A and B are shown apart, each in its own frame.
Chain A
Amino acid sequence: GENVEQHPSTLSVQEGDSAVIKCTYSDSASNYFPWYKQELGKRPQLIIDIRSNVGEKKDQRIAVTLNKTAKHFSLHITETQPEDSAVYFCAASKTDKLIFGTGTRLQVFP
């Protein structure tokens, strides 16, 4: 079955710096890759997603890139702000269920 690995598990950056979180997946048939943000004690919320027919997608300060050949995808956050502090999860899917990575705790220091 599908396996998703996510790195790093924790990431600390200074406000204004960029943050990059990387995920790799095992099943080459996976074709949908969402990213979720979960603030402390709250529900995960979708922040961006990408499908296998696209290599990159941007939404203001966040972007996701997908390398199908290498089977990895990355989340890029530019000009980080303290409110970006949260746990971020990647996921991969090909049919009827999502397989999640283990999460990255991002801390943005003022």
Chain B
Amino acid sequence: DGGITQSPKYLFRKEGQNVTLSCEQNLNHDAMYWYRQDPGQGLRLIYYSQIVNDFQKGDIAEGYSVSREKKESFPLTVTSAQKNPTAFYLCASSPQTQAQETQYFGPGTRLLVL
């Protein structure tokens, strides 16, 4: 677990502002994932990446963007188009590109709207 980190722990967003959440892993994992967690709704997949310079939309990608320029980094940008961004955001990684391997989660970033 200590090999995947997220920052910041708390993030405040103003109206119309884009904010970027950081996710870094030193586990040499190929696959990385971003989830959004709302009370009573479990974890919903935003974006995922199986290899550098490639990523796919998850179930709730609208209003979000990602990049995967390095294997160890997978930042998530919450754009102004995301009208209800308040949530707990979790990043995860797994050793292989198929999801039938354990996903290891970061500690999460809680995003709040001012």
User: Do B42 and A96 touch across chains, with their CB atoms under 8 A apart?
Assistant: no
Mask of A15-43 contacts with B, CB within 8 angstroms, 1/0: 00000000000000001101000000011
A51 at the interface (CB under 8 A from B): yes
- The number of chain B residues with a CB under 8 A from chain A is 26
User: Do B42 and A101 touch across chains, with their CB atoms under 8 A apart?
Assistant: yes
- Residues in B1-49 with C-beta less than 8 Å from chain A: 1, 31, 33, 35, 40-45, 48
Interface CB pairs A-B, < 8 A, 28: A6-B42, A9-B40, A32-B99, A43-B105, A43-B106, A44-B43, A44-B90, A44-B105, A46-B102, A46-B103, A89-B43, A93-B99, A96-B31, A96-B48, A96-B56, A97-B33, A97-B48, A97-B58, A97-B99, A98-B45, A98-B103, A99-B45, A100-B35, A100-B44, A101-B42, A102-B41, A102-B42, A103-B42
- Residues on A facing B (Cβ under 8 Å): 6, 9, 31-32, 34, 42-46, 49, 51, 89, 93, 95-103
